[in-house]
Structure 1
Amino acid sequence: MQAAAPALSVSKQGAGIWKLYIFAVVILVIAEWIGSATFKLGPGKIVLLPMVWALIMGALIGSLQSRLPGPLSLSQPLQFRAAAILQPALLLFVAKLGLMVGSSLPKLVESGWALIFQEFGHFVGTILIGLPLALLLGIKREAIGATFSVGREPSLAIIGERYGMDSPEGRGVLAEYITGTLFGAVFIAVFAGFIASLNIFHPYSLAMGAGVGSGSMMAAAAGAIAALQTPEVAKDVATFAAASNLITTTIGTYFTLFISLPLAVWGYRVLEPLIGRTTASSSTAQEGLQQATHLDSGELNLPNRIGAWVFAGVLTIIANWIAYKVTPLQSLGCIAIMVAVVFAGDLLRTLTGKKVPAVCWVTLVAMFLTSPACPWAAAIVEITSKVNFLAVITPMLTFAGLSIAKDIPAFRKLGWRIVLVSFAANAGTFIGATLIAEFFH
C-alpha cells in the first residue's frame, strides 16, 4: 500500500511537472555539448555517447533529491512521472527506426536466416552464461527468473503468471528488471561498443545482437555500434537492430515462454547439485521489492501521451541541432511525421482492444510509409532523413535517468551478486545472438 501514493501522483496533473521538463532540457543540452568520449581498453576501445551522460546525470539528480534545495530537488512523484513519460516517448524512437526499416526491407530480406535464427542466441545466451554464474554465487531458484531472459516487462508477466511475484523465481526476475533498469543501458552500450571496436564481427551481426527486447537497451547498444561505423553502415545498423528488437519483443515473448524458461528450469535442476553453493545471498526473501519499481508508474492518458510525444520530439530537435548542426526548421518535418506515426499506432492499439502492443503498430505504420508499397515513400524518406537516429536516443535515456533513482532502495536489497548475474545475462544475450547471426550471415 505504501507505493500507492507515488503511483497515484503519476496520474494527476500535479504542480511541478514543469521542473521535470526543465531538468530534461538542461540534461540533454549538457550531454550533447559534452559529446562522445573514447577510451582505449586493451585491443579495443570504449565509446561513451551523449546518451550515457544523460542517463548518468538524470540518475544523479534523482539520487540527490534529499540533499538539494527545494527548487532543484526531483521528488519521487516526479521520478514516477518521468517513468510514465518514458514509455510513450520510446514510441517516437520506434517510429524513427520503423521509417528506416521500411526503406531497407530488401537488405533485411537478403539477411534471410541470420535474422531469424539470431533469436535463439538472445534467449539461450542469457542462460548459458548467467545461470552457472548465479549458482556459483549462491543464488538459488531466483537464478531461474534472473537468467531465462533479460527481464523486461513481458518476462515479468510470464514469471508472475507461472510462479507469482512473491516466489523465488519472481524475486529473481524482479531483481533482473531493477538491475537492467538502473544499469542495463549503460552496460550494454559500453559492452557492445567495445566488442564492435575489436572488428571481429560484421556490423550487421552486431546490430542483430543489439535487439535484446528493450527499447532503451537496444538504442544504447545500436548507438554505440553505429558510432564506430561509416554513416551509411550506421544507418543499416539501426535498421537491423530495430528489426531484431521487433522480433524479440513479439515472437520472442513466445520463445521465452515455451523454450527459454523450460530450458532454465531444466538447467537449474541439472546444474544446482553440481555447482550450486549456499551463501548469504541464498536467502533472498526481501519484502516490498515490487513497491519500488516502474511497475507502479502507470499509463498516461491520451492528452498526456500526446504531450510526451511532442516534448520528446522537441528534445530530439535540440539534440539534432547541437550534435549534427541541423536547424530546427529542417528537423520539424521529420518530427511531425514521427509523432503522426506514433499517434496512428496508439490509435490502432486502442481500436484492437490493446491486444497488440503499440510498439508493433507503430513499427508497421512507419515501415509502410517508407516501403516500396507506399506511393509517397521517396518523399517521406527524404524528409525523415534530416534527423539522425542517435539524436532520438538521448531524450529517451534522459527520461530513463530521471526515473531510476526511485529504484535504488530496492536495488540495495539485492546485493552485488545479482548485478554480476544481470551483466552476464545481458552480455550473453548480445554475444549469443551476434554469434548466430555471424554464422548465418
Structure 2
Amino acid sequence: MSTATVYTSAKPVGFSDQARLYIAAFIIVLIAEYIGNVAIPLGPAKIVLLPLLWALLMGAALGLASKRMPPGVSITSELQRSAAALLQPALLLFIAKLGLLVGGSIPKLAASGGGLFLQEFGHFFGTMVFGLPIALLLGIKRQAIGATFSVGREPSLAIIAERFGMKSPEGQGVLAEYLTGTVFGAVFIALLAGLLASLNLFNPLALAMGAGVGSGSMMAAASGAIAAQQTPEVAKDVAAFAAASNLITTTIGTYFTLFLSLPFTIWAYKVLEPILGRTTKASVTADADVGADVDHETPPLDIPAQVLVWVLVGVFALFGNWINYKVPATDPMALGGMAIIIGVVLVGYLLYRLTMRKLPAVIWVSLVGMALTYPAFPFSASISAMTGKINFLALSTPILAFAGLSIAKDVPAFRRLGWRIVVVSFAANAGTFIGAAIIAQFFMHNPGV
C-alpha cells in the first residue's frame, strides 16, 4: 500500500514526562471549568464557548509554545504523541457515561420514530452534498473526492489508502480533511452547533442526532454546545440522542462509507466536475505532498497504563464537576457514580479483548452502560441516580484537553494545505451535521414522555 505518511518510532515517554502531561491536563481542566460557559451574542443568535473549548484551545496553545518554554515544562512532540495516545482510552469514559444515559432513555429513543436511523443518510451524504460543489468551484480536482466522501477520521484514511493509496490525489484530500478535523474540527462543530441551537430552527434532539458524526471529540463538542442551551432534563436527552446516533455511525459507518458514500462521491465528481470544475492555482499545487511530516503513530499503552488513564481522567472530571456543576468531588454519590463509569469501561474493554477485538471497544462500553440503566434492569434507578451526579460535559473537558495537547504535532503539515482545502473541510463537516439534523427533524416524532 502506498502512503505519503512518514511514521516515526513512537516509544513510551518516561514517568516524569508522563506525569508532566497529566499535570498540564489537570491544570487546563481546572482553569477551563473555572472560566465556564461564555455566551457571545450575534444578533438573534449566539455562540456559547464551553469549558471543553477552552480546554482544547489552552492545550493547543501550550503545545505550540513548547519550543519557547524551558525543557522541564514544555510539551514536546513526544508528549504530544503521548497525549494523542491517551485520547482514545480517555474517550471511553465519556462513551460509558453516554451509554448509561442512553439505557434510561431507550423508551424515548424508540418513540422518536425513524428519524434516529434515517438521519444516518445525512451523515454519510451531507459531506459530499455540501463539500464537493464548493471544492470544484474553488478549483480542487480529485482531492475533492477524498476530502468530501466522509468526515476524514482514521477509518476514512484506511479506506482511501486501500483504494487509491495515500500519495494519490484522493489520499491527499482525505489527509487534508483529517488534519483540518484534528486541528479545528471540534472547535468548528461546537460553534456551528451552538449557533444553530440558539436560532431555534431545529428540535434540539434533531441537532443532537446530527452531532453523532462518528468522531468522539467532535460529538462531545457539538452535543455539549447544544445541551448548554437546554433545560437540565432536555440536556440529558440531547446527550442520549447524540450518543445513540454516534453509536449507529460507529457501528455501520465504515461499511456505509465504503459501499455507498465513496462510490456515490466518485460518480458525483465525474458528473459535476465538467459543470462546476475550474482550473486555478489550487489545481496545480494540490499535488504537493501535504502529508510528508504527518506522524499518526502513537506510543503503545498496556492495560495498566490504560487503567491509570481511566482513574486519573475520572479524578479530573470529578473536580471539573465540582467547579462547574457544584457537586463536591468527595460526595459519596459522585464517587460511586464515577466508580460505576470506570467499571463500565473495564467490563466493556474486557469484552472487547475476549471477543478478539472484532468490534470496537466503544461499542462494548456503550452496550454495557446501556444495559445497566435499561429500565428493566433491577438496579437501574440507583445506578442512574449515582452516575447522574456526574455531568457528561465534565467528562468531555479532560478529553478535549488531551486533544488540544496533541494538536501541535500536526500544525506544520496543516500549514501547507492552503485555505481552499480548509474551506472544503469545514463545508464537509457542516454538511454531515446539518444534513443529518434536517433528516432527523423531518422524520422524528417528539418523544416527550
TM-score w.r.t. length of structure 2:
0.95
1:343 is aligned to: 346
Structure 2 unaligned blocks of 5 or more: 445-449
- In 2, distance between residues paired with 1:85 and 1:286? 31
Question: Do 1:126 and 1:428's aligned partners in 2 also have CA atoms closer than 8 Å?
Answer: yes
Deviation at 1:277, TM superposition (A): 1.5
Output one character per residue of 1:181-219: Cα deviation in whole Å (capped at 9) or x when no partner: 100000000000000100011111011011111000000
- In 2, distance between residues paired with 1:223 and 1:421? 24
- In 1, distance between residues paired with 2:304 and 2:93? 16
1:190 is aligned to: 191
State the secondary structure of the residue aligned to 1:40.
Answer: strand
Deviation at 1:284, TM superposition (A): 2.4
Deviation at 1:14, TM superposition (A): 5.2
2:201 is aligned to: 200
Output one character per residue of 1:219-267: Cα deviation in whole Å (capped at 9) or x when no partner: 0000000010000000000000000011111112211111111111011
Once superposed, what is the RMSD of the aligned Cα atoms? 1.5
Task: Report the CA distance shift for 1:108/1:49 in structure 2 as closer, same or farther (over 3 A).
Answer: same
Q: Which one of the candidate residues 274, 292, 295 is aligned to 2:294?
A: 292
- In 2, distance between residues paired with 1:178 and 1:424? 14
Deviation at 1:37, TM superposition (A): 0.8
Deviation at 1:2, TM superposition (A): 9.8
2:337 is aligned to: 334
Corresponding position: 1:160 with 2:185: no
Question: Do 1:3 and 1:296's aligned partners in 2 also have CA atoms closer than 8 Å?
Answer: no
Question: Do 1:222 and 1:237's aligned partners in 2 also have CA atoms closer than 8 Å?
Answer: yes
- In 1, distance between residues paired with 2:37 and 2:156? 33
- In 2, distance between residues paired with 1:12 and 1:46? 38
Mean Cα deviation higher: 364-373 or 391-400: 364-373
Please tell me the residue identity of whatever aligns with 2:179.
Answer: I
Structure 1 unaligned blocks of 5 or more: none
1:403 is aligned to: 406
Aligned residues: 438
1:8 is aligned to: 10
1:64 is aligned to: 65
Task: Report the CA distance shift for 1:408/1:314 in structure 2 as closer, same or farther (over 3 A).
Answer: same
Task: Report the CA distance shift for 1:2/1:437 in structure 2 as closer, same or farther (over 3 A).
Answer: closer
TM-score w.r.t. length of structure 1:
0.97
Please tell me the residue identity of whatever aligns with 1:28.
Answer: V
State the secondary structure of the residue aligned to 1:354.
Answer: coil
Question: Do 2:5 and 2:166's aligned partners in 1 also have CA atoms closer than 8 Å?
Answer: no
Deviation at 1:72, TM superposition (A): 2.4
Where do 1:210-225 residues align within 5 Å?
A: 210-225=211-226
State the secondary structure of the residue aligned to 1:296.
Answer: coil
Higher helix share: 1
Q: Which one of the candidate residues 397, 402, 426 is aligned to 2:429?
A: 426
Task: Report the CA distance shift for 1:3/1:258 in structure 2 as closer, same or farther (over 3 A).
Answer: closer
1:260 is aligned to: 261
- In 1, distance between residues paired with 2:107 and 2:5? 52
- In 2, distance between residues paired with 1:26 and 1:15? 16
Q: Which one of the candidate residues 369, 374, 396 is aligned to 2:372?
A: 369
Please tell me the residue identity of whatever aligns with 1:427.
Answer: A
State the secondary structure of the residue aligned to 2:427.
Answer: helix
2:442 is aligned to: 439
Deviation at 1:8, TM superposition (A): 2.2
1:379 is aligned to: 382
Output one character per residue of 1:74-114: Cα deviation in whole Å (capped at 9) or x when no partner: 10000000000001100000000000000110000111200
2:311 is aligned to: 310
Task: Report the CA distance shift for 1:378/1:198 in structure 2 as closer, same or farther (over 3 A).
Answer: same
Question: Do 1:174 and 1:290's aligned partners in 2 also have CA atoms closer than 8 Å?
Answer: no
Question: Do 1:31 and 1:51's aligned partners in 2 also have CA atoms closer than 8 Å?
Answer: yes
- In 2, distance between residues paired with 1:198 and 1:356? 38
Where do 1:85-96 residues align within 5 Å?
A: 85-96=86-97
Q: Which one of the candidate residues 413, 416, 428 is aligned to 1:413?
A: 416
Question: Do 2:290 and 2:417's aligned partners in 1 also have CA atoms closer than 8 Å?
Answer: no
Identity of aligned residues (%): 62
Deviation at 1:279, TM superposition (A): 2.0
Output one character per residue of 1:272-323: Cα deviation in whole Å (capped at 9) or x when no partner: 1111112222232333716424x21154111111111111111101110100
Question: Do 2:197 and 2:229's aligned partners in 1 also have CA atoms closer than 8 Å?
Answer: yes
- In 2, distance between residues paired with 1:221 and 1:409? 27
- In 1, distance between residues paired with 2:52 and 2:432? 22
Please tell me the residue identity of whatever aligns with 2:45.
Answer: G
Please tell me the residue identity of whatever aligns with 1:159.
Answer: I
- In 1, distance between residues paired with 2:349 and 2:317? 20
- In 2, distance between residues paired with 1:72 and 1:178? 26
Please tell me the residue identity of whatever aligns with 1:418.
Answer: I
Question: Do 2:13 and 2:79's aligned partners in 1 also have CA atoms closer than 8 Å?
Answer: no
Mean Cα deviation higher: 345-354 or 44-53: 345-354
State the secondary structure of the residue aligned to 1:112.
Answer: coil
- In 2, distance between residues paired with 1:305 and 1:75? 21
Corresponding position: 1:44 with 2:80: no
- In 1, distance between residues paired with 2:39 and 2:20? 32
State the secondary structure of the residue aligned to 1:418.
Answer: helix
1:276 is aligned to: 277
Where do 1:116-265 residues align within 5 Å?
A: 116-265=117-266
Task: Report the CA distance shift for 1:84/1:51 in structure 2 as closer, same or farther (over 3 A).
Answer: same
